């Protein structure tokens, strides 16, 4: 069974500081990994995904994520946080074997303080 854990319900960071939102996963075999962002009362917006290749994936709005197979992690990062980055972030995983739907974590609320 696939599962995703986002160990922090809330992350607070000062504007201009680097931010990290953590994600660990559990799948059989190699995963496909995704990050989405959700603003209040809106749908989810796709940020980036890891398919294969370079472990550092760059995405929208200056975000990047690092795939670490040994630690089964896919943490989302940004070098300098903006107040406008404040939102709810979701990590998701899909196994490479079988066409199964994405499995989402419970989300992490990021608050960037000016």
Binding site for other proteins (CB under 8 A): 9, 32, 34, 36, 41-46, 49, 51, 90, 92, 94, 96, 99, 101-102, 104-107
Q: Which is nearer to other proteins, 5 or 15 (CB)?
A: 5
Integer Cα distance of 89 and 44 in angstroms = 9
End-to-end CA distance of the chain: 41
Q: Which is nearer to other proteins, 85 or 108 (CB)?
A: 108
Tallying the residues shown for the chain, one arrives at 114
Instruction: Work out how close the CB of 92 gets to other proteins at its nearest, in angstroms, rounded to a whole number.
Output: 8
């Amino acid at each position: 069974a696939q599962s995703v854990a986002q160990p922090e319900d809330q992350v607070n960071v000062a504007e201009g500081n680097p931010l990290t939102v953590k994600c660990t996963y559990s799948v059989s075999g190699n995963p496909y990994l995704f990050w989405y962002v959700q603003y209040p009362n809106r749908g989810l917006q796709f940020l980036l995904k890891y398919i294969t290749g370079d472990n550092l994936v760059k995405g929208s709005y200056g975000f990047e994520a690092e795939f670490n197979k040994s630690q089964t992690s896919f943490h989302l990062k940004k070098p300098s946080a903006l107040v406008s980055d404040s939102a709810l972030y979701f990590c998701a995983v899909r196994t490479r074997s079988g066409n199964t739907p994405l499995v989402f974590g419970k989300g992490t609320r990021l608050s960037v303080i000016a």
